[in-house]
Structure 1
Amino acid sequence: MKRRQRISARTVRPHKRTRLSKRSGALIVTALAACGGTAVIAAQAPAGTGAGGTGAAGDGASVAGRTISCPDVGRRLRSLPAQAAPEVNRNLGQLEGQVARAFQRWAAAPGAQERVLDELERDRGATIGRIAEALRRAGGQPGALDRLSACRTTGKTAAAQSAPRGARDGNSADNGPFRNDFVDITTVRPDTGGGGDRGGRGGSFRSECGRNENGHRNPDNLIVAPGVSNGAHHLHDYVGNLATDAFSSDDELATAGTTCGNGDRSTYYWPVLRLRDNGRERDANAPGGGRDGNVGTIVRPAEVSLTFDGSATEKVTAMPPFLRILTGDAKALTNGPADANASWSCTGFEDRQLRNKYPVCPRGSSVVRSLAFPSCWDGRTVDSANHRTHVVFPGRNGQCRSGFRPVPRLVQRLTYAIPPNTLYAVDSFPDQLHNPVTDHGDFINLMPQRLMRTAVDCINSGRDCR
């Protein structure tokens, strides 16, 4: 029997939002008059603090805009023997939890930075040692993992970067987003920012799987942290396969129900988007929610588009069952932007794509998240130790590198009706400060083989099918 969380996050549903205070409303009105629609940037002083205050306990030093950066051990793995996988994944999950707790301790007492980092290095060293030993016992090569235990603080200390929350509680740290994480989309030049599009060609195939009307959510990540409860430390929206959580086996996924109208049992998921509006969700005191600094009213997408298209240079081949693919990097703030493939925009302005900013959309325009997935498969494995080397992006010329073959390219497009002048953020690891660069998406292929053949045929023949 699978181990289940005490609080089921699948049933989380938005609750009535608390109105902004009169003071916050005045800030928004004033900024709207002055800035022509970018008021969301101005109303960002956290409740309970004066001008320039931090709201943090301890010696009064601000941690806003700063975080703890640790080497990403999971990304360094190049092989993972099957017999070592459960223990390695369990300990990788412990590493994430250690960083999350250390960040929260430091945010509550900024003067304790040195002590917190020392304790974190000690805990990480012991956990990494267990990972290395599990790999050695299974005949794997742990390499120099023992050098990855030390962490450091990064970012700028600046009270002017006050968090834009209207609500604070004992589980929430100054972990963003910040005023410089937002930009008025009308001020962005067209055709800048790059976006997440790598230029698919040919026809297309679309699965209609709904907008998560059934509230299937949890803070797990079956691909990156299988068998680890709250492995994501943030909440995911799911559409498609109804059985997906950290403990789902391939057999369970293969026989589960689906929200897709065409029988597609694939798993599609992404971090939820929340309004920073004082709204108290059912997970306000739960792992992945308030305990990990993710607070506010969850916004269900107004529209979800799941489209597969083709290669710029050759015909695509079918994906194998259970192929796992991810795009973006949930830890891009500290890992760097190399894998930050998600992009943000507004309806009516999608020739302006942003990687590291949240768009402030004009009235009548919706926020758009675009998540384009890699589409060159090694033809051998359905997953890799770091979950990235078995499926990669094509080169700038659209061709797959030697030894890889093109498969249908998934593009997830999510739109949100964000009320004007409302603060919002994507869920994240606590130490990633809710930065938009950390947006990401995940996919496990469970299309019936006949449906996959239909998708491949539509794409290669230049037809648009659904």
Structure 2
Amino acid sequence: MRQRQQAQSHKRSRLTNRMLVAAAALLLGGGGLAVVATTALAGNNAPDAAAGHPHMVTATTVSCPDVGQKLRKVPRSAQLQVSKGLASLDRQVSDAYHRMTEGAGDEILARLKKQRSRTIGTMVTAIAKDATRPDYLLKMSGCTTKPTGVDGQAAAKSTNDGWNQNQQQYPNQSQPQDPNQSQPQDPNQNQQQGQVQGQDGGQQQPGQVGGPSPDDFVDITTVQPNAGDPPFAAPQGNNASTGTFTTECGRNEDGHFNSDNVIVTPGVSNGAHHTHDYVGNKATDAFADDRKLADSDTTCQNGDQSTHYWPVLRKLDGTSEQKPGAGHDGNNGSVLTPASVNLTFRGSQSGQVRAMPRFLKIITGDAKAFTNGTKNANASWSCTGFEDRQLKDKYPLCPQGSQVVRTFAFQNCWNGRDIDSANHRDHMTFSDQNGNCPSGFTPVPQLVQRITYDVPQGNSFAVDSFPEQLHKPVTDHGDFINVMPDDLMNKAVNCINSGRECR
């Protein structure tokens, strides 16, 4: 009888602990898993636990080495296999993250490592058939957990602190705001504002499992100016090419959406695990090669067939569409149509620019910056009327009547040879503050994508992301494939180099 009572007591203890884990995950915000000290999870009756000593509760997500960023040469014969491999790695991380949110244990990381090891091995073998065998990739199978939510504030601070070091182009415009200004003026008021009505009459607010977290938002009026003229300082001075070329491609009124990524994972459906918003080329999906893009119609008024895309912004209204890239991948809420989309090419501080080659592919920002770090991050959030204040790792809370602004200033130096590279980054880079490109690179027109939104008041919106990236604002990114006809690109270059404003 006594043994039965003890067993029932242990069962109740384990149930209570599981309930505590679930509650902690919801309360901490932004985290995918609440991890409680092992003694508490095991129902350990050690003196410390019995005495009621508090246990450390931390929200975490899955953090894995980014294999795609370490690729250096992928022969044509291996491109599809590598693309499928990268998509498989993302899916494995996503599945592991979801299992962790359901309360599975540490064995998930061991299982994930085995899966990744097999997938990476397949990629290495495919590359080795026609290129040097990249055995260094085999060391990238192991993953860890990363603190988020409350404990993630320290990581968020380091994001701002390290921004100048990683961002070369406009160092004087990326100064971090006062850390004391990184939180809304009234946190309680902020949480109340963040509650929005769901379909079922319930309330949804940031801080639930999967993010975003309340501390991902900041009142823009509390941020000190840290940028030049909006959207950023334009080239000026005697040597600068000061003209601009603007192409008008609409706001995706036709509803061109998919969760593919034709640059990173061509030939694979749902390669992004989040939904992209498209303007320009109407044929863009995972299976659109250069020929298909060149034959496609466009939403651009001047005949520009280029592809522009970015993750959608969603209103956190309690809706969920269970399909890839949306609710199936943890991206819930109604998609917000931009209020405006401005696509402008501008010149260089150091002198004239040369034409971009057709089918040049550029990614700016990093969809996995929350776990990768900020080396390639390039998110810029602000509000209309406050664009001298740019946020890198926070969403802006805008005053009534002010719109949320996302700005992507793309890399403006090209290596003069390649329209793409194995990691989709090495062929492009940023100039320094004087407009000078690194050795071996030459200035090309800089694309600036500026997108505005009317959003509900409060912390009631979020950008789509990979599930384990928790909708963090630092993961925002933009993509571009130049499909301008050569004569249109030459017109743009002439306008920029002659100091004119053209459309």
TM-score, structure 2 normalization: 0.77
Match of 1:70 among 64, 78, 81: 64
Structure 1 residues 196 and 65 mapped into 2: Cα distance closer, same or farther (>3 Å)? farther
- Does the 8 Å CA contact 1:52/1:160 hold for their aligned counterparts? no
Please report how far the alpha carbon of residue 407 of structure 1 lies from its aligned counterpart in structure 2 after TM superposition: 0.7
- Does the 8 Å CA contact 2:32/2:468 hold for their aligned counterparts? no
Structure 1 residues 297 and 52 mapped into 2: Cα distance closer, same or farther (>3 Å)? closer
1:410-421 matches, within 5 Å, as 410-421=447-458
- The CA distance in 2 between the partners of 1:410 and 1:53, in whole Å, is 41
Pair 1:258-2:298 in alignment: yes
1:346-361 matches, within 5 Å, as 346-361=383-398
Pair 1:121-2:156 in alignment: no
- The CA distance in 2 between the partners of 1:123 and 1:195, in whole Å, is 46
Match of 1:341 among 378, 381, 386: 378
Offset from partner CA, 1:403-431 (integer Å, 9 cap, x none): 11111100000000112235000000001
Q: For 1:124, what is the secondary structure of its paired residue?
A: helix
Q: For 1:144, what is the secondary structure of its paired residue?
A: helix
Please report how far the alpha carbon of residue 145 of structure 1 lies from its aligned counterpart in structure 2 after TM superposition: 0.7
- The CA distance in 2 between the partners of 1:342 and 1:318, in whole Å, is 26
- Does the 8 Å CA contact 1:241/1:256 hold for their aligned counterparts? yes
Name 2:244's counterpart in structure 1: 204
Structure 1 residues 125 and 63 mapped into 2: Cα distance closer, same or farther (>3 Å)? farther
- Return the index of the structure with the highest Cα Rg: 2
Match of 1:409 among 443, 446, 450: 446
- Does the 8 Å CA contact 1:88/1:134 hold for their aligned counterparts? yes
Offset from partner CA, 1:377-410 (integer Å, 9 cap, x none): 1111100000001011112332011111111100
What is the RMSD computed on CA atoms of the aligned residues?
A: 2.9
Please report how far the alpha carbon of residue 191 of structure 1 lies from its aligned counterpart in structure 2 after TM superposition: 1.8
Offset from partner CA, 1:143-198 (integer Å, 9 cap, x none): 41110000000114659999x786699xx981110011000000001126999847
Supply the AA of the counterpart residue of 1:184.
D
Match of 1:88 among 61, 82, 88: 82
Q: For 2:88, what is the secondary structure of its paired residue?
A: helix
Name 1:378's counterpart in structure 2: 415
Name 2:431's counterpart in structure 1: 394
- Does the 8 Å CA contact 2:35/2:58 hold for their aligned counterparts? no
- The CA distance in 1 between the partners of 2:28 and 2:484, in whole Å, is 50
Offset from partner CA, 1:55-102 (integer Å, 9 cap, x none): 999998599842110000000011111111111111111001110111
Count of aligned residue pairs for this structure pair: 412
Name 1:4's counterpart in structure 2: none
- Does the 8 Å CA contact 2:412/2:430 hold for their aligned counterparts? yes
Name 1:213's counterpart in structure 2: 253
Supply the AA of the counterpart residue of 2:342.
S
Supply the AA of the counterpart residue of 2:63.
S
Supply the AA of the counterpart residue of 2:273.
H
Offset from partner CA, 1:230-255 (integer Å, 9 cap, x none): 00000000000000000112111001
Pair 1:183-2:223 in alignment: no
Supply the AA of the counterpart residue of 2:451.
L
Match of 1:311 among 348, 356, 362: 348
- The CA distance in 2 between the partners of 1:418 and 1:118, in whole Å, is 42
- Does the 8 Å CA contact 2:248/2:302 hold for their aligned counterparts? yes
Pair 1:322-2:359 in alignment: yes
TM-score, structure 1 normalization: 0.83
Supply the AA of the counterpart residue of 1:279.
T
Pair 1:135-2:127 in alignment: yes
- Does the 8 Å CA contact 1:196/1:342 hold for their aligned counterparts? no
- The CA distance in 2 between the partners of 1:356 and 1:155, in whole Å, is 16
Please report how far the alpha carbon of residue 277 of structure 1 lies from its aligned counterpart in structure 2 after TM superposition: 1.1
- The CA distance in 2 between the partners of 1:292 and 1:412, in whole Å, is 26
Supply the AA of the counterpart residue of 1:183.
V
Q: For 1:451, what is the secondary structure of its paired residue?
A: helix
Match of 1:155 among 134, 141, 147: 147
Name 1:288's counterpart in structure 2: 325
Name 1:241's counterpart in structure 2: 281
- The CA distance in 2 between the partners of 1:128 and 1:146, in whole Å, is 6
- The CA distance in 1 between the partners of 2:275 and 2:79, in whole Å, is 24
- Does the 8 Å CA contact 1:65/1:178 hold for their aligned counterparts? no
Please report how far the alpha carbon of residue 374 of structure 1 lies from its aligned counterpart in structure 2 after TM superposition: 0.2
Same amino acid, percent of matched pairs: 53
Structure 1 unaligned regions, length at least 5: 1-47
Pair 1:447-2:484 in alignment: yes
Supply the AA of the counterpart residue of 2:101.
A
- The CA distance in 2 between the partners of 1:354 and 1:345, in whole Å, is 6
